[in-house]
Amino acid sequence: MKKVSYEVKTRLSGTLARTGVIHTPHGDIQTPAFIVVGTKASVKSLTPEQVSSSGAQAVLANGYHLYLQPGHELIEKSGGLGKFMHWQGPTFTDSGGFQVLSLGSGFKKTLSMEIEGVSPDDVIAPRKERQAWVDNDGVTFKSYLDGSMHRFTPEQSIQIQHGIGADICFAFDELTSLMDSYTYQAESMRVRTQPWAERSLHEMQRLRKLHPERPYQAVFGVLQGANYEDLRRETAQWMADREFDGYGIGGAIEKERLGEIVQWCNEILPEDRPKHMLGISEPDDMFAAVEHGVDTFDCVSPTRVGRNGAFYTFEGRKNIRGNMYKEDFTPLLEGCQCYTCQNYTKAYIQHLFRAKELLANTLMSIHNECFIVGLVDQLRASIEDGTFYAFRDDWLARYYQ
């Protein structure tokens, strides 16, 4: 059973930025890399072949959603996530930790990276309105499908991810919000997220021994601690002292301090293991994360905004529904090599949206995934040739002009 491992290739002098390779049973991931999200074993509106043609190297699915439908046992019977969804490359699974917040204290609230002008009532749901309830042993969820109740513990989360068969699994954790107090953040990290991480690791070690014939499945410990340097450094050292295969940097992070917070963690975490940042896809966030040592990151945003009419350009995000595109017979982005830009015009894609044709979602998603994956490929090349800062400054100045 060959372990998932990480190999450093190049380092950017004076920073934590690096390029490397994550070796998995289903192929290598050249890093830094954007991991495309296929929450329910499907990247919305795209076939696996279209995902692959975007340049994507790996796909991340969600253990909580796949547990509810179709069930991890069915996916295991099919031969694992890759075979089930006809994806040839490496796979990740989220633990259900995000749903602890999105269905719990953040239910029907805006999950923001900003704290200016935000009050606790804006982001913290009353307990009686929630669909997830946390205690020190685990989380009780109410299914959004049929209202049935389900219990997740760290062991259950890992059993689900093991059944799904992902190459990289995340330890079960409690995601907090920026509005939670320091006292709550510290308690959550020390009493729940860290013990749950250790229990997740031990459960995967037990399952590996029980099924030595199966490909190795990595466990990444997830770091919480919000904006607090002492908590982030404390949990980084705690994670570094244990046998995790890699790390997920997650939780409540204020956008303006993203790079600083990531650096606190990565100054302590072992250099020879990969670091994944959960849930980012804005270009400025990606540059900041990579500069401070993040190797991979994921987000649903490229396909989600695409389904709402937004497309990426080098001058920022535009919306195809604008009147200026009604008779615009040029591609979404001149020079883009994606299938959409090579074959279709803005005028046609706008027509698809106005006519509510499903092809609109596919064409926009192809372009957006290609754009973000391609940006990270360029970012990786800039580290290798030493032009990272010039590339970053020019690219971001143009995008956010």
Catalytic residues: 94, 298
Residue 152, strand partner residues: 139
- How far is Cα 241 from Cα 227, in angstroms, rounded to an integer? 22
For residues 170 and 158, is the Cβ–Cβ distance under 8 A? no
The full DSSP string for 269-304 is: S-TTS-EEESS---HHHHHHHHHTT--EEEESHHHH
Q: Where are the alpha helices (DSSP H) in 179-250?
A: 182-187, 194-210, 229-240
**Preceding amide of 32 cis, omega within 30:** yes
Assign residue 117 a region (left: φ > 0; alpha: ψ between -120 and 50; beta: otherwise): left
Q: Of 212, 202, 207, 236, which is closest to residue 222 (Cα–Cα)?
A: 236
Q: Which helix (DSSP H) or strand (DSSP E) does residue 8 occupy?
A: strand 5-11
Q: Of 252, 231, 242, which is closest to residue 199 (Cα–Cα)?
A: 242
CA geometry: angle at 194 spanning 190 and 197, to 5°?
A: 165
